[in-house]
Structures are given as structure tokens and as C-alpha cells.
Amino acid sequence: MNARIALVVGTSSGGSGRHVRSLGEGLVARGHRVVVVGPVETEREIGFTEAGLRFSPVPIGATPELGDAGTVLRLRALLRNADVVHAHGIRAGALCALAGVGPLVVTVHSAPPEVSGARTAVHRLLEKIVAGRADLCLGVSDDLVERLNAAGARDARLAVMAAPHVGRPFNGREHTRADLAVLPERPLVLTIGRLVEQKGLDTLLAAAPAIADRRPDPVIAIAGDGPLWGSLHDTAAELEADVRMLGHRTDVADLLAAADVFCLTSRWEGSSMVLMEALRAGLPVVSTRVGGIPELYSGTAVLVPPEEPEAFAAAVGQVLDDTGLADDLRKRSREAAEALPTEEDAVEAVSKAYTGVAAW
């Protein structure tokens, strides 16, 4: 059956947005009619229409807003004739649930740490709304599935996630390093992501002087844009370390090819698409031990506790200083990459999920 499928997404310029684009392309290739619904800013960052997908703008922000009642009404009007509504993110899922649209599938991509505070309380409330009203809940890691079950989900399962391929390097390692003014003998430590609190980039900057305290001194490159760009840039400029703020980049494959170590300093995370990309590039990975990361990457990446700059710097330094360890991690990354799901695997999985909840 050629179904009418609505993919609903919130504010995202990272992995979840690219995952939605990949799913949309795959579903269209199977003959379905697909519309992506979400903020204009997400369309601008991800490019759904460039991929040949229909897009309808709806303001779905990262936090509760005064206009949410209007958003719920707009979602109800836009999605009333959909055969399946698939929301991505707990905010998008809760707003669709409140709109009463369906059949409703919700994929939860991450959750904040279990600490007291307004953010945690709001997230728990949204989880309960999603769990109580969604026909199917998908979590990108086992810990998220457990949270959804604890919130009362009638059906919670593990999502199949695949990072869209960033393609082959266009310029290659040497040319890209030359463009970045990184001398051949200097290690390049790279992170890529949206510059928001979740990504914990203040931890990387706090670790930067200790990482740089070796010869030849490494270059630490931060690729990405977001609301914290200004404050992170100002902090980086005052450090006794060579930190480069690269801004938004479209040459991710080249950056990965140019790097010697990939870092992820997130405070919370789901499956992390960018780590999948780093594995495919065969890079040694140092990451914080949060969310679904230990479950997915233990034994492949070097894992350290979140928000501990000294521990993070020590782990990166160990990889930089021990060529045997670095080579072993590269081997582990390549082996892990071979086992990663493909984009077609992800499309097949959601197609089966839709068949299970929709009457077709």
C-alpha cells in the first residue's frame, strides 16, 4: 500500500534530523507519500526539500512555549488524514499525542540525566504523555526503552538507527589539514556537533590545556554551530591551547579523514550518529559514558565519566601518546563499523513497525 506518512521533528541540526531525512527518502523510494513537519530552522539545517521531501512548517521548539496550544491545533489539522504519524523526539511526540493524531509512533533519541530540576521534571511529564498515548514507542538505546516502559508505554522497542553516510572524502587528509593550517606532525583532535549544553563542550575546553601539553602540541577542532558558539569561542580564545572553532561544515567526511582522535563530551546522548560516522572513518574514539553510549560502544571507544575534564584529557592524551593503543582503537572502530545497521535496515524496520500499528 502507498501510505500517507508524516514524519514530525523538532529543533534539530544533528543526527536525529538527518535520520528523519534518511527515513523520508527511503520511504518515498518505496512508493509512500511522505511529508516532514517541523520548524523552519530544522528544514534550513537538514534540507528536507532538497532531498525531494514535502515539508510543512510547524514551530516545535526544544522547550515548552506559550504557543504550544496553537502548535497542537496546527498539528491536528495538518495530520488528520495521515495513515501513520511518526514523531521524533519527546517534545514532538508529546505535542502529536496531545493533538490526538495517529496511529502514532514516537522515537525517543535521548533523555537528560536523572537529576532534580525543571528540565528533568518536564521530560518525565512528556514521557508519560507519550507513553500513555503513542501506539508504539521506539528508543534508540536500551536505557531509553526502559524509561519508556517505566513511564507506562503499551509497546516500547529498540529503534534501528543508521547514520547516513557522509560520503567519501573529497579533498582527502593532507589537503584538508593544509586548509586548516595543521602541520603534518601535529595531531588533530576533532569533535562535531551542535553547540548546545547537551554536548558538554565546556568539558572539552576545560580539558584542552592538558591535552595540548605535549610536543608536538595538538590542534583541537570544534565543528558545528549553535546558541553557545559565542561563549565557547570567547573561552577558547583565552586558553593556552590551539582550539579552532570551525563553525558549520559541509565537509564532514574530509574532517574525519584529517583527524587523529574523535571526541564526544556529551552530558547525555542516545545512540550518537556522529560516533557512527567516526567509526566508519576508522578513528580512535574517546567519549563520555552516558545514555546509550556504554551499551553501544563499550569495547570500541575509550569511555570516561561526564563532566570530568581531567579524566577526559588523560584519556585523549593516552591515545595520542600510545601509538599501539591508537592503532588498536582504529581496528576496533573499523570492525564495529562493519556491524552497524544500514539506512535500508532502518527503513525496513520502520516499515514493519508502521504495518503493525496502521490498518492497511
Q: How far apart are alpha carbons 107 and 139 in whole angstroms?
A: 6
Q: What CATH class is the domain 173-338? A: alpha beta
Grid cell 570530568 is found at 308
What are the residue ranges spanned by the domains of the chain? 4-162+341-357, 173-338
Peptide bond into 187 cis (omega under 30): no
Counting every residue, how long is the chain? 360
Q: How far apart are alpha carbons 254 and 30 in whole angstroms?
A: 31
Domain 4-162+341-357, CATH among 3.40.50.720, 3.40.640.10, 3.20.20.10, 3.40.50.2000? 3.40.50.2000
Task: Tell how strand 156-158 and strand 188-192 pair up.
Answer: unpaired
Residue 92 CB partners (closer than 8 Å, separation 6+)? 8, 9, 10, 38, 60, 106
Mean pLDDT of 162-175: 85
- Of 44-53, 118-127, 128-137, 198-207, the one with minimum mean pLDDT is 118-127
Comparing 46 with 37, the larger pLDDT belongs to: 37
List pLDDT tens digits, range 64-107.
Answer: 787 889 999 999 999 999 999 999 999 999 999 999 998 999 99
Report the SS3 class of residue 339. coil
DSSP 227-243: TTHHHHHHHHHTSSSEE
Tell me the β-bridge partners of 302: 286
List pLDDT tens digits, range 219-270.
Answer: 999 999 989 999 999 999 999 999 999 999 989 999 999 999 999 999 988 8
Q: How far apart are alpha carbons 204 and 187 in whole angstroms?
A: 16
| Average per-residue pLDDT for the chain | 92
User: What's the pTM?
Assistant: 0.88
Q: Quote the pLDDT of residue 232.
A: 96
In terms of C-beta density within 10 A (0-12 exposed, 13-18 middle, 19 or more buried), how is residue 258 classed? buried
Q: Quote the pLDDT of residue 23.
A: 96
Closest CA to 293 of 144, 165, 159, 164: 144
pLDDT band with cut points at 50, 70 and 90 for residue 216: very high
Q: Quote the pLDDT of residue 11.
A: 82
Same CATH fold, 173-338 and 4-162+341-357?
A: yes
